[in-house]
Every structure is written in C-alpha cells, then in structure tokens.
Amino acid sequence: MTNASDTPKPCKACQDGEQLPFDFTMAFQPIVDMRDRSLFAYEALVRGVDCSGAASILSRINEENRYIFDQSCRVKAVELAARLQIPCFISINFLPNAVYQAATCIRATLEAARRFNFPTNQLIFEITENEKLVDKEHLKSIIREYKRQGFKTAIDDFGAGYSGLNLLAEFQPDIIKLDMELVREIDQDPVRQAIVKGILGVCAALNIEVIAEGIESQEELTVLIGMGVYLYQGYLFAKPAFEHLPEVNWPVDV
C-alpha cells in the first residue's frame, strides 16, 4: 500500500499553474532516411519569436521556471506540428530534471495532442541535459513510462558528456543521435571511424536505431552510409526553418 507521503508531489509551478514571463517558438529541421529518401522525423528546435537562436531563450531558463519551460516546449512543438501537418515523427527535446514524475508530467503533452489532433504515436522524446547531473534511476523511470505510453525515446549528443556507452547498460532508448563531434570529418579520421563502428555494433545488438546528426559534407555522408547508418540530420540536407518545414536537399551522388 502506498502512503500519501510516498507519492511524488508536483512542483510549485505545476500547482500554481504559472506561465513563462517570455514567449518563444520553434524551428524545424528534418531527419531523413537514406534507404528510400523519405522523411523520418522533424526535430523541434527552440527559437525566439524574433527569429533569435536557442541561446537567447535557454539563457533565461533557471531552477524556478525549468518545469514550466519544459512543459511549454512540448505543447508548442505539438501545436506547430499539427498546424504544419507534419506527416512523420516529431522529435521534442526535454530536460530530465524538469520531470518530477513521468506519468504526471506527460499529461499536458497528451492533452495538447488531443486538442490539436496530432497522433501521439508520432512523438519522439529526445533526452537533452547540459548540466550532466541526471539521476540514472530517474531517467530509467521516464523512459519506461514513455515506452508504456507508446512514445519513442532518443538520447541526444551520444558520445559527448555523460551520454556514453555506460548509459546503455542502464536503459535502452529506441534511438541514439551520434554527437556531431564524432561525425565531423569522419571521412578523414580513422579513429572516429573506429569509435562509430563500435557504437553501431552495440546499437545493432540492442536493436537501437542510430541518427547521425550535424552532417555537413557529402564525404561524411558517404563514409557513414558505408558503415550502415541510414538516418541523418544536418545542414547537408536542410537548415532549421523558422515555424515551417524546409525543403530537403537530397544528395545526388549517393
């Protein structure tokens, strides 16, 4: 039997229904599948309403407004995805430290999906955490709940910071996104090639899909395709577009 004192309490912002003191919007960048040159997903990226970059918004996030910002990002991404009639997955970044209890904190997202008539089975939740102070058990509980709800989960910037192979021993997301520093000029770097091959082998054994992000050159793409990577995101295909879906530039020599 669970005691009332054992139940996680919502943060003050949730209880009080506070609103952010600033506004923001989203840009969208495609994630493509090179097997059939199709769209796999669009990532929703935070922008200022004046078209300013993510840094202008993220610099205003603190401990007091972290939860409200995280919730607002989810709702804004779903609203715009529905308005733009995104036909594939939408990848939404979230801050694990802003989630006090996964089942409760997902309610606003589910309500937004119902309100804007966007299919919940097209949602990917992408773990991003710059502070690197994330409790692994907490992450496991979030991923477990999101999988139960039928969402896909992804780890962003895999290979950078805390996002290393040791995390995969604790929990297995549906997708990892190779950090762009691992793929930058990989065509010229045998060390990076060896590291990526090792990661791909682990992911294949664990049935985890891999997205190579930050792809900027035809040479990087050619080498990664040769390694068996088929999902890509980067300027080679399209830059993020402010509140609309950019046209994809498909490479002609691959």
Q: Which residues are catalytic?
A: 213
Residue whose tokens read 């590291």: 195
The encoded tokens of residue 167 equal 């995390």
**Cβ–Cβ under 8 Å, residues 39 and 87:** yes
**Cβ–Cβ under 8 Å, residues 76 and 93:** no
In angstroms, the CA 127 to CA 142 distance is: 10
**What does the CA dihedral 41, 137, 161, 175 come to, rounded to 10 degrees?**
-20
Residue 169, CB-side half-sphere exposure with 13 Å CA sphere? 3
